[in-house]
Amino acid sequence: MVIGAGIIGVCVAAYLQRDGRDVTLIDHGEPGSGASSGNGGILSGSSIIPVGMPGIAAKVPGWLNDPEGPFTLRWSYLPKIAPWLIRLLQSATPAKVEAQAIALRGLLKSSLENYAPLVQDAGATHLVHQHGQLYLYASERSFRNDMRNTDIRRRNGVAIEDVIGSALREIEPDLGTSFTHARVVRANGHISDPRALVQAFAAHAVARGATLHQERVMGFEHNGARVNAVVTGNERHSASGVVVACGAWSKPLAEKLGDRVPLDTERGYNIVVKDPEKGPRLPTLYVDGNFGATPMDMGLRLVGTVELAGLDAPPNWQRADMLLKKGRALYPGLAPVDDASRITRWLGFRPSMPDSLPVIGTSSRFANAYYAFGHGHVGMCAGSTTGRVIADLIAGRTPCVPIEPFGPRRF
């Protein structure tokens, strides 16, 4: 039984079915209705830079004092998030960052390759594109200051092109004229409707015989060595094994399976502009502003920033509106939008670990319980490979990538 029907859960289900296994998917919401539905959709094998980088401790106070900054905290949540923040700072050493980048590269580099059979099976090839990704800088100075991250990427096998002056204008003619420096990763791709992709995978799983339940999982029944049932608010479901892949809601379930993990939530906002006047050709990460702009089937999606406030605090829609303001600074031809029918705002919950590495592996207590959660900013990109890894573990095969860095007991 796979708990969670976001991108991770449906990829796990798809790879298990390709092994000939019967699958049950269970989620408290509809497939793809959680964090998967509103992300930036970038299949970025270059997204290997952890959140916690050397020097982050000096930057956080300034971010917190900037209402439009990339990182904000609801102060009432500080007592709960404090241990997570401490671990984040502890992970931000040069040696740990190098190791984290190596691990993430292993997980992300074959994303498109591992998606290919699943996309083909589900009839969703129209949703996946490989046109590259742009890293955009505010100035030549910020372009140079990002060399540490660029060097980490290049050392891990990412091919990066510098794009300067008129060459940038040829790639992105709608950019403001003040932007002159960028980098392009040609190997990256994007999904033009992430929610539709998850739903296509879920529908294909059901068509191949999977069972889908919309229920909230409360716990498990076991015999001391193996899990034999999943208990929801509605009923008991027999299970020959379980995979916890329910994102930000995974922590209490992992604890019931014998593992305490420092999972918390980065709240991410997006805003979608339907029929945008201007925008990017390539999915774009604006490095200085810590947000992204992706052309999608439903319009221009602006996504990013981090809010630490847990799962229960009400939305702060100013964080979404701020993204539109920042997007217009990049694309001056993008008009102010006062037509509500053209604007969609969204809030989602990124399941995040303080060292920016997901939890992938086996329960320390039950041999037939597996974990696949905590992917933070890279869930969409990592979904395909994570699904393949879990199928490998269940089949007794050597995983397709090294998973030791992602172990649930690393803390």
Residue 226 lies in a domain: yes
Q: Is residue 239 part of a domain?
A: yes
Q: What share of the chain in percent tops pLDDT 70?
A: 100
What is the SS3 string spanning the chain? CEECCCHHHHHHHHHHHHCCCCCEEEECCCCCCCHHHHCCCEECCCCCCCCCCCCHHHHHHHHHCCCCCCEEECHHHHHHHHHHHHHHHHHCCHHHHHHHHHHHHHHHCCHHHHHHHHHHHHCCHHHEECCCEEEEECCHHHHHHCHHHHHHHHHCCCCCEEEECHHHHHHCCCCCCCCCEEEEECCCEEECCHHHHHHHHHHHHHHCCCEEEECCEEEEEECCCCEEEEEECCCEEECCCEEECCHHHCHHHHHHCCCCCCCEEEEEEEEEECCCCCCCCCCEEECCCCEEEEEECCEEEEEEEEEECCCCCCCCCHHHHHHHHHHHHHCCCCCCCCCHHHEEEEEEEEEECCCCCCEEEECCCCCCEEEEECEHHHHHHHHHHHHHHHHHHHHCCCCCCCCHHHCCCCC
Residue 167 belongs to some domain of the structure? yes
Residue 303: pLDDT over 90: yes
| Structural domains counted in the chain | 1
Position 67 scores a pLDDT of: 72
What pLDDT was estimated at residue 152? Answer: 98
Q: Tens digit of pLDDT for each residue in 111-143?
A: 999 999 999 999 999 999 999 999 999 999 999
At residue 340 the predicted structure's pLDDT band, cuts being 50, 70 and 90, is confident
pLDDT of residue 223: 96
Residue 400 is assigned to a structural domain of this protein: yes
With bands split at pLDDT 50, 70 and 90, how would you rate the model's confidence at 92?
very high
> What pLDDT score does 59 carry?
83
19 found inside a domain: yes
pTM of the shown model: 0.97
Q: What pLDDT was estimated at residue 378?
A: 97
What would the pLDDT profile of 224-258 be if each residue is shown by its tens digit?
999 999 999 889 999 999 999 999 999 999 999 99
Q: What is the pLDDT of residues 138-168, one digit of tens each?
A: 999 999 999 999 999 999 999 999 999 999 9
| pLDDT at position 335 | 84
What is the pLDDT of the chain when averaged over all its residues? 96
Q: Is residue 411 part of a domain?
A: no
Q: Is 91 inside a domain boundary? A: yes
Categorize the per-residue pLDDT at 270 as very low, low, confident or very high, splitting at 50, 70 and 90: very high
Q: Is the pLDDT of residue 71 over 90?
A: no
Look at residue 234 in the predicted model and tell me its pLDDT: 83
Residue 267 belongs to what domain range? 2-406
Per-residue confidence band for 64, with pLDDT thresholds at 50, 70 and 90: confident
What would the mean pLDDT of 383-403 be, rounded to a whole number? 97
| Residue 295 within any structural domain of the chain | yes
- State the CATH number of the domain containing residue 373: 3.50.50.60
pLDDT of 60 strictly over 90 = no
pLDDT of residue 305: 82
In this predicted structure, what is the pLDDT of residue 68? 76
Q: Which of 40-44, 261-265, 274-278, 335-339 has the lowest mean pLDDT?
A: 335-339
* pLDDT level of residue 337 (50, 70, 90 thresholds): confident
